[in-house]
Amino acid sequence: MNKSGLEIQQNSTTLSLDFFGDFTLYQISKYEVAIEGASYNKYGFIEINLKHVTLLDTAAALYLHSFVHKLDNKHISHTIITDKKETLDTINLTKRYHGEVLKKKKEKKSCIHKLGSYAYKHILSYLAFISFLGKLFSTKLYTIKNISQIRFKEIFFEINESGIKAIPIIALTSFLIGLVVAFQSAHQLKLYGANIFIVDMLGLSILRELAPVITAIVIAGRSGSAFTAQIGAMKITQELDAMRTMGFDPYMFLVLPRIIALMITMPILIFLADIMGILGGMIVANTNLGISTDMFLSRFLEVIHIQNFYVGIFKGPFFAFLIASIGIYRGLIVKDDTQSIGFNTTKSVVESIFAVIVCDALFSIAFTNLGI
C-alpha cells in the first residue's frame, strides 16, 4: 500500500489541500476531520491538489463533490488540480451519477390507529387460520370418501420421523419428571408418615396431566417447528406451487399425512411417557421412602382407576391435532423471505404450546364436571 496523507498549507488568503497517496473511502473521515480543523471558512480561495493522488475511488470523489458543493454555497472560490485522466474521469462520473438522498418520511400514527391496525391484523390471522381449518376438513371428508387416496407412505414416513425418532427424548424427559416430582414430594410425605400416598399422587398426576402435557410440549418443540420450517422452505423455493401445478394438492400430500401421523403417534408416546414417569417415581419411592416395587404396584392397582389412564391417552389426538395444524398453518403463511421462516417457527412453537395448555385446562374442567 502506498503511503497516503493530506498536507494542509495556509497563507493569508489561500488554503491549499495537498492530497497524496491513495485517497479512498478508508481515508475520508480522517481527512474530513483535518479539513474541518483547518477552519476553511476563513479563506477566500481553496486549492484542492490531487496531483499526487495515486488512486481516487468513487467514495472519495463523492466526498470532494459534496465538499465543493459546500464551498459553492459559502461563496468560497476553489479549484481542483489534477493531471491524471483516471482521477478526472472518476470525478466526472460522480458528478454525472450523483444521486439524491431521499429523506425517509416517518409517518406518525396515533395510538388508536396502531391499536386498530394491530387488532385488525390479528382478526385477519384468526380468520385465515379458520379458513385453513375449513380447507383441512374438506380434504379430510374427501379422503374419507376416497379412502384409497390416503397417502399411507407419507403417513408412515411421518410416524417414523416425528414418533419413533422422538421415543428416546420423550422417555428421558418423562422419566426425569417422574423422578423429580417424587423426589420433591417424598420429603413432605415423610413428615406426615404418609409414605404410601406417593403412589396415589404420582399415579394421578402423571397419568392424567404430566405425561400428556410433557409429551405435547416436547413434540411441539420437535415436530411442530420442523413442520413450519419444512413447509416454509418449500414455499420459498416454490415447491408448493410446483406441486399445485402438477395436480398434487399440498393438503393431500403434505398437510393431512402429517396431522394423521401425529394423531396416531401421540397417544402411543403418552403411553410411553406414563410408563417412564411412573418408573422414575417408583425408583425414588423405593430408595427414599422404602416402598418396595411390589408394594408400589399393588397399591397402584388398588387406587388408580383405569379411567385416569384413558383420560391422559384421550387428550393425545387433540394435542397432536393442535400442534400439527398450527405448525403447518404457520409454514403455509411464510412470506417470500428468509426472516419469515424464523419468525413463523418461533410463533408456531409458542402458539402450539399455548394451545395445548388451554386445551388441557378445558379438558380438566370438563372431566371434573363430568366426574371422570
Binding site for other proteins (CB under 8 A): 24-26, 28-29, 32, 57-59, 62-63, 66, 86, 89-90, 93-94, 97-102, 104, 335-339
CB of 25 to other proteins, least distance (A): 5
**Closer Cβ to other proteins, 61 or 356, answer by number:** 61
Give the span between the Cα atoms of 293 and 274, in whole angstroms: 16
Nearer to other proteins, 29 or 307 (CB): 29
- For other proteins, the closer CB: 93 or 350: 93
Quickly tell me which residue has 408416546 as its cell.
269
Point out which residues pair with 53 in neighbouring strands.
21
Amino acid letter at 119?
A: A
Residue ranges of E strands in the chain: 5-10, 14-23, 45-56, 77-81
Name which of 76, 53, 61 is nearest 6 in CA terms: 53
CB of 242 to other proteins, least distance (A): 17
* CB of residue 187 to other proteins, shortest distance in Å: 51
CB-nearer residue toward other proteins: 5 or 221: 5
Question: CB-wise, 3 or 153, nearer to other proteins?
Answer: 3
Q: Determine phi and psi for 328, rounding to 5 degrees.
A: -70, -40
Residue 62 Cβ vs other proteins, minimum distance, rounded to whole Å: 6
Count of H-run helices and E-run strands, the chain: 15, 4
User: Smallest gap, in angstroms, from Cβ of residue 205 to other proteins?
Assistant: 44
User: What is the largest distance, in Å, between two alpha-carbon atoms of the chain?
Assistant: 108
* Closest to other proteins by CB, 179 or 341: 341
Which stretches of 146-207 are DSSP H helices?
152-158, 167-192, 198-204
Minimal distance, residue 192 CB to other proteins, in Å: 58
Nearer to other proteins, 71 or 260 (CB): 71
User: CB neighbours of 35 closer than 8 A, spacing ≥ 6?
Assistant: 6, 8, 17, 67
Closest C-alpha to 316, from 364, 269, 278: 269
CA gap 270, 274 in Å, rounded: 6
Q: Minimal distance in Å, beta carbon 84 to other proteins?
A: 12
User: Smallest distance from the beta carbon of 340 to other proteins, in angstroms?
Assistant: 8
**Residue 64 or residue 254: which is nearer to other proteins going by CB?**
64
Burial environment of residue 281 by CB neighbours within 10 A (0 to 12, 13 to 18, 19 or more): buried
Dist CA 129 CA 123 (whole Å): 10
* Cell 409458542 found at: 350
Strands 14-23, 5-10: pairing kind: antiparallel
Q: Closer CB to other proteins, residue 26 or residue 310? A: 26
Taking the least distance from each CB to other proteins, the nearer of 86 and 302 is 86
Nearest-approach distance from CB 343 to other proteins, in angstroms: 10
- What are the beta bridge partners of residue 8? 17
CB of 338 to other proteins, least distance (A): 5
Adjacent-strand bridge partners of 79: 47
Q: Phi first, then psi: what are they for 239, rounded to 5°?
A: -65, -35
Q: Are 69 and 38 in contact (CB under 8 A)?
A: no
